[in-house]
């Protein structure tokens, strides 16, 4: 009985985020338009196999969408003083953060799932492991949203500061996560870094889902592990920085 109201509180936060924040410019630009423009700009003039196309677009769509708004919710609420109202309500920091993650996760799952299956239809590809693909999208949406919430722990009310930090993290990981260049072709240091990126494991899952080759249990386990790690780190960081925002 104790877990139900806790989840209900987080769902209320998620609904609030979807209603207030997810129609704003950063979602449209960084979450929807930028991945497609970035992908097609890279594609022009290159011959890429269909599996690389679907894996690359899937990775960028879910990565950018999950991290488009979750990093800036805390700064916005700090500036508008709505954070003080949340803190004074009977809800824990973990429940607030979980609600932010769930809202971001819902948007990321919706947009990325539509993008992936639409591109798969255009390319004439059918997922060989449909359930694995859906589970991968769910886990990746949660994991990447948790990364965004962790980034938002920086005690500032200036969204530009958070977006700059978010960009410094998001773009380098794209190039070492097997989206454009297979991890096996990266230099030694790049291949090591790629194993520390959760995006690498989602890209591998997409490849497995459509080609049947890969290690899905390792990829799913890694996404679960990263999700727990980032959720714990976000809760710890926000508890430390929250007094500086009030």
Is the pTM higher than 0.85? The answer reads yes
Compute φ and ψ for 180, nearest 5 degrees: -100, -35
- The residues spanned by each domain of the chain are 3-245
- Mark out the alpha helices in 29-91 (DSSP H runs): 34-43, 50-66, 73-80, 82-88
> Comparing 9-13, 80-84, 200-204, which segment has the lowest mean pLDDT?
80-84
Contact 223, 202 (CB under 8 A): yes
b/e burial code for range 121-141 (CB count within 10 A of at least 16 → b): eeeebebebeebbebbbebbb
pLDDT average, residue stretch 160-175 = 85
Using one digit for the tens of pLDDT, what is the confidence trace for 35-78? 667 666 666 656 778 888 888 888 888 888 888 888 888 888 88
3-state SS class at 70: coil
């Amino acid at each position: 009985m104790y877990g139900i109201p806790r989840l209900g509180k987080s769902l209320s936060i998620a609904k609030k985020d979807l209603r207030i924040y997810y129609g704003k410019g950063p979602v449209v630009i960084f979450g929807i338009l930028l991945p497609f423009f970035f992908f097609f700009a890279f594609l022009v003039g290159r011959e890429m196999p269909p599996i690389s196309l679907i894996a690359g677009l899937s990775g960028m769509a879910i990565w950018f969408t999950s991290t488009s708004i979750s990093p800036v919710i805390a700064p916005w609420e700090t500036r508008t003083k709505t954070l003080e109202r949340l803190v004074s309500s009977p809800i824990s920091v973990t429940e607030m953060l979980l609600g932010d993650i769930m809202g971001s996760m819902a948007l990321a799952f919706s947009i990325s799932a539509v993008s992936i299956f639409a591109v798969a239809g255009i390319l004439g590809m059918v997922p060989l492991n449909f359930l694995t693909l859906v589970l991968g999208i769910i886990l990746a949406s949660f994991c990447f949203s948790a990364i965004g919430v962790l980034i938002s722990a920086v005690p500032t009310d200036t969204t530009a500061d958070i977006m700059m930090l978010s960009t410094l993290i998001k773009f380098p990981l794209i190039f070492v996560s097997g989206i454009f260049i297979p991890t096996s072709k990266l230099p030694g240091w790049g291949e090591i870094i790629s194993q520390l990126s959760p995006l690498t494991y989602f890209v591998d899952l997409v490849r497995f889902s459509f080609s049947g080759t890969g290690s899905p249990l390792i990829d799913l386990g890694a996404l679960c592990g990263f999700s727990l790690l980032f959720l714990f780190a976000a809760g710890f960081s926000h508890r430390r920085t929250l007094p500086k925002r009030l």
